[in-house]
Amino acid sequence: GRAGFVSFSTDEAFVYHPFCDDFGPLNLAAVYRFCGELRDILTKATRPLLLYTRDDPHFANNAAFLLASFLVLELGLPSDEAWRPFHVLQPSPFAGYHDATFGATDFTVTVLDCLRGLEKASLAGLVRFKTPVEEGGFDIDEYEHYDDPINGDLHVVVPGKFVAFKGPVGDMPAGRLWRNERHVRTFHPRFYCPIFRGFGVSTVVRLNEQLYDRAEFESEGLLVRELYFDDCTTPPAEVMLRFMQICEDAGDGMIAVHCKAGLGRTGTLIALWLMKTHRFTAREAIGWLRVVRPGSVIGEQQQYLVDMQRKMWEWGALPREKQLELVTRGIAMLTIDAGVPERPPRDPDRLSRTSSAASAASSSAGGASPP
C-alpha cells in the first residue's frame, strides 16, 4: 500500500458469481460482512484508510457499492450524499449493472439505484444489521445457508412477507428431496416444507408451468395459488391484481413465491408490491431485490416496472379499504371464473377481449398500463 495509508481491497474477498452477463451488485451477505470488517479496521487504524480496486468497472462498481453501503447503513448518510464523492470522478470508472441475461441491453441499473434501494429497505425495516438476530435482526448464517444453490436457493426478500425461491419439481427418485443434473441442484416441494414452517409461510405462489403436484404443499397445510405467465415476460393485469389480493389474504402469514428460477417473474411481482406498499421507485425495488436475491428482474420486466411506478404509488396512496375495493372490482371486471389460465389463451378474439378487460381493470386499480 501507499506510505501513510492502511491499504485494503475487496476484489478478492468479495466475488460476484454471474448468471449471464451480470456482474453485480454484491449480495446482502457481502454488504454485512464488509460493514463488519471495515468497522473493525476503523477501530484499530492509526492512519487513513485506502480502499483500492483494479482498473475495471466491474470491480470498481462493487468496491464503491460496498464502501457507500457502509456510509449509508453504518454512518446513516443519505444514499445520494454517500454517492457524491464517487459521482464527481471523471471520467467515471463505473458502469451500469447488466441484468442476468446475455447480450446487449438498453436498461442498466446504477450503483446509486442499488444504494437507494438498500437505504429504502433499511428505512422500511427490511434490513436490520444492528438489531440482534433474536429480535428480528439480519441472520447472516441463515442468509448464506439458503443463498447456497445446494441448500435451496431461497431468500427472505421482505422479512415477514415474502420468500423468493427456485421452482421445485416433483419428478424425483422415490424418497429423494433433491437431485443434481448438469451441476444444478433441483428440489422436491417436500424439501421446502419444513423450511417454510420455520419462516411462518402460509401461502405458496407458483408463476411457472406446473412441475409438481400442489398436494405436496397442501398436505402440509400450505395454500397454493397458481398465477402462470410466460418466462421473461411481464405480468398481465389479472395476474398482478390477483397477486395483490393474495398478499392481502395472507394476513400475517408469509408468502413463498417462485417461477422457474425464482428471479424474473418472482422479482417483478414482489417489486410491484414494494412500490405500492413502501413507495420504492422501480429502480430502488430492482436494486434492493438484486442485493437481497442476485439476478432478480430481467429483460423487459425492468422497463415495465418503471412504467408501473406512478400507478403503484397512486394505488398505494389510497386508503386501504379503497385499495382492496379496486383489487376486487378489477378482478371481477376480468370475468375469469376459473382462475388465471395455466396457459395464455390461444384464441386471438378471446385474447383481445381479455386484454380489453385487463385494460379496464387496470384503470380501476390505479392503472396496470404504462402512464
Annotated catalytic sites, by residue? 259
Grid cell of 202 as nine digits: 402460509
Dmax over Cα atoms in the chain, in whole Å? 74
Cell 424425483, residue?
Answer: 172
Q: Is the dihedral of CA 224, 227, 230, 235 positive or negative?
A: negative
The DSSP 8-state label assigned to residue 134 in this structure reads G
CA 255 to CA 331: how far, in whole Å? 20
CA 124 to CA 368: how far, in whole Å? 24
* DSSP-derived secondary structure for 4-15: TSEEEE-TTTS-
Note every long-range contact of 228-232, with CB atoms under 8 Å and residues 24 or more positions apart, other chains counting.
228/340, 228/341, 228/342, 228/343, 229/265, 229/344, 230/344, 231/259, 231/260, 231/264, 231/265, 232/264, 232/298, 232/299, 232/300, 232/301
Would you call 176 exposed, middle or buried from its count of C-beta atoms within 10 A (0-12, 13-18, 19+)? exposed
